[in-house]
Amino acid sequence: MTYRAPVRDMAFSLHEVAGLRDLAGQGAFADLTPDVIEAVLEEGARLAGDILAPLNETADREGARLEDGKVITAKGMAAAYRTWVDGGWGSLSATPDFGGQGLPVALSVAMQEMWNSACMAFGICPILSQGAIEALTAHGTPELQAKYLPKLISGEWTGTMNLTESQAGSDLAALKSRAVPQGDGTYRITGTKIFITYGEHDMVENIIHLVLARLPDAPAGTKGISLFLVPKFLVNDDGSLGERNDVMCIGLEEKLGIHASPTCVMSYGEQGGAVGYLIGQENRGLACMFTMMNNARLLVGAQGVSVAERAYQLALAYAQERRQGRPLNSDLAPGEMAPIIEHPDVRRMLLTMKGLTEAARGICYATAVAIDRTHQGASVEDREASQARADLLTPIAKAWSTDIGVEVASLGVQVHGGMGFIEEAGAAQYFRDARILPIYEGTNGIQAIDLVTRKLPLGNGAVMRDYIAEMSKTASACEASNDAALTEIGRELTAALACLTDATEWMLARLPDEPDDCLAGATPYLKLFGTVAGGYCLAKGALAAVSALSGNDGNSFLSGKKALAHFYALNLLPSVHGLTTPVKSGAAPLFAHDPAA
């Protein structure tokens, strides 16, 4: 069973849940209509289904290999990447100043969902390039932008993020890579980086590394980190490639999943130092890095949606075909078995998979539309409010969506039963691939810390309170409806929002004087927040669906949106009532147990 992008679901989420329809036809998007957006989605769906999806299983089995310092990707990967480049897919949301199409970030996120559903080992490569483009656009000199952005945006070259070192995982203060100024505007970079996705490969002629390193006189800690652009091949003033830079892949990691994505150990300066160019200011690399990371975190959240969607499609197809057992009160003939989708528990698992997937999709798309509004808002106040909303939702988009990616992939294995544990069925690969998502681009624990210590205090809590108020309006609209299902959705969402409000005010009150208590409850708080936000997204969709139905229940797609939101409200949203206690339990229980015991 191959992947087919759920174009109708994606368009519905973009327009009715995330609000992209309100931006289309305005400002820089004046020529963008819902029809154009759906045409782009349809074209991307063909590429994802016909070119990328067939690679997923075969490339996973073959993997990537290192030969004489060169990484050879799995058969078909390089050709697929060339097709992707020729289609102009890398340039969707990039600035037109350097060859981009200037389309909404939200549409680009939807396309990334497709690439990663089709083949996540392929889709991670454009995500890293996008981070490099964002950092260079925001912080690079005009000379660096002119030389490197056009081919990064077109996809002819790819980008990487070189942060991690063996002694410094998430703790960037411990970085040791060095950058020595040469007096001519360049720097010599030395050091070793690990876990570098697509640090070396054969799909493009040049790879542009963004590397964190320290100057000789840099202050200790994160205040002494600078960001450098280090190309695999130096680039001449006319844009042609020059000599090979002093950077090499010296090892490939053997991983649990995404086998076709080369995860490299990169060595800089084995022959005197790799030539690098400063991005931003000396010792201010952390700000540049966060430009990369914030973009990448949203796209990794979309990867969570991607793997969940692929796992759901496979599980649904299996449940419709696999016959086993007989439901109670069945009218089947003696000896005849029913498709397992007829069993209530299997149906519960499938609806859980679909509900979580669509909820996470709504959160990710809404985050992307908020980013688009930071550029397209009617006033400075609108743009600032949109930036604050994007900042608030980014850790939820990354962490909650990737957690549900793992959960949904695990349920996919369960739906398959014993066959799910066998590689041949395919469900196991999605579980293996999904497991990296809560770890890279900032672990989900770090996302929770970021949420409670940096994002909740925005505007002294006003940004979060405004979002809760917005969600409450939707809950009230549902409760006031004459539709019985909408009324129940509104009732459950209102009760869940009471839990979120209680937990939020507890966090805000204790953060100044009892930060450890807040850190102890950060992860359950993020889960509570994400679960409620997901229910809000589905409730918005249900309201839109009921409005469009106008009493005609013959539209199964729209009726399905209401039914799914109703299932989520009754079966998944109530879980938040059990999260308020761990959110508010404080740090003492975590440290009461002596590890020596």
- Write the pLDDT tens digit of every residue in 67-81: 999 999 999 999 999
Closest listed residue to residue 13, CA positions, set 374, 532, 538:
538
Greatest extent of the chain over all pairs of C-alpha atoms, in Å: 87
Catalytic positions are: 441
Cα–Cα distance between 238 and 245 in angstroms, integer?
A: 18
pLDDT at 595 over 70: yes
> Which residues does residue 406 pair with via DSSP β-bridges, in sequence order?
none
Closest listed residue to residue 57, CA positions, set 5, 114, 4, 118:
118
What phi and psi values does residue 449 have, to the nearest 5 degrees? -60, -45
* Average pLDDT of span 209-221: 94
pLDDT digits (tens, 9 = 90+) for 91-107: 999 999 999 999 999 99
Tokens of 141: 């000199």
Q: What is the pLDDT of residue 26?
A: 80
> Which residues does residue 207 pair with via DSSP β-bridges, in sequence order?
158
Helix, coil or strand: residue 165: strand
* Spacing of C-alpha 573 from chain mean position: 22
pLDDT digits (tens, 9 = 90+) for 293-323: 888 999 999 999 999 999 999 999 999 999 9
Q: Do the Cβ atoms of 262 and 197 come closer than 8 Å?
A: yes
Closest listed residue to residue 261, CA positions, set 124, 434, 387, 373:
124
* Average pLDDT of span 202-211: 98
Q: Give me the amino acid identity at 163.
A: L
Tokens of 549: 């139905």
CB-based burial of residue 443 (10 Å sphere; 0-12 exposed, 13-18 middle, 19+ buried)? Answer: middle
pLDDT at 208 over 80: yes
* Average pLDDT of span 528-552: 93
- Lowest average pLDDT, out of 333-347, 406-420, 486-500, goes to 333-347
Cα–Cα distance between 26 and 394 in angstroms, integer?
A: 25
* Average pLDDT of span 133-143: 95
Cα–Cα distance between 62 and 538 in angstroms, integer?
A: 39
Task: State the pLDDT confidence band at 493, using cuts at 50, 70 and 90.
Answer: very high
The chain-wide mean pLDDT, for the chain, equals 95
Cα–Cα distance between 288 and 276 in angstroms, integer?
A: 15
225-239 in b/e form (b: 16+ CB < 10 A) is bbbbbbbbbebeeee
Task: State the pLDDT confidence band at 581, using cuts at 50, 70 and 90.
Answer: very high
Task: State the pLDDT confidence band at 554, using cuts at 50, 70 and 90.
Answer: low
Cα–Cα distance between 240 and 359 in angstroms, integer?
A: 46
pLDDT digits (tens, 9 = 90+) for 434-471: 999 999 999 999 999 999 999 999 999 999 999 999 99
Cα–Cα distance between 492 and 500 in angstroms, integer?
A: 12
Cα–Cα distance between 451 and 427 in angstroms, integer?
A: 32
pTM of the predicted model as reported, rounded to 2 decimal places: 0.97
Q: What is the pLDDT of residue 561?
A: 97
* Average pLDDT of span 577-587: 97
Question: Which sign does the torsion angle of CA 552, 565, 362, 50 carry?
Answer: negative
pLDDT at 179 over 60: yes
> Which residues does residue 323 pair with via DSSP β-bridges, in sequence order?
339
pLDDT at 222 over 90: no
Task: State the pLDDT confidence band at 49, using cuts at 50, 70 and 90.
Answer: very high
Q: What is the pLDDT of residue 552?
A: 64
- Lowest average pLDDT, out of 58-67, 283-292, 363-372, 451-460, goes to 283-292
- To 5 degrees, how large is the angle CA 366–CA 367–CA 372? 90
CB-based burial of residue 13 (10 Å sphere; 0-12 exposed, 13-18 middle, 19+ buried)? Answer: buried
* Average pLDDT of span 137-157: 97
Residue found by looking up tokens 């409730």 in the block: 539
pLDDT at 110 over 60: yes
Closest listed residue to residue 252, CA positions, set 325, 197, 313:
197
Tokens of 579: 């999260």
Q: Do the Cβ atoms of 123 and 405 come closer than 8 Å?
A: no
Half-sphere exposure of 310 (CA within 13 A, CB side): 33
* Average pLDDT of span 150-177: 90
* Spacing of C-alpha 456 from chain mean position: 21
Cα–Cα distance between 122 and 335 in angstroms, integer?
A: 46
Q: What percent of the chain has pLDDT over 70?
A: 99
* Average pLDDT of span 510-526: 97
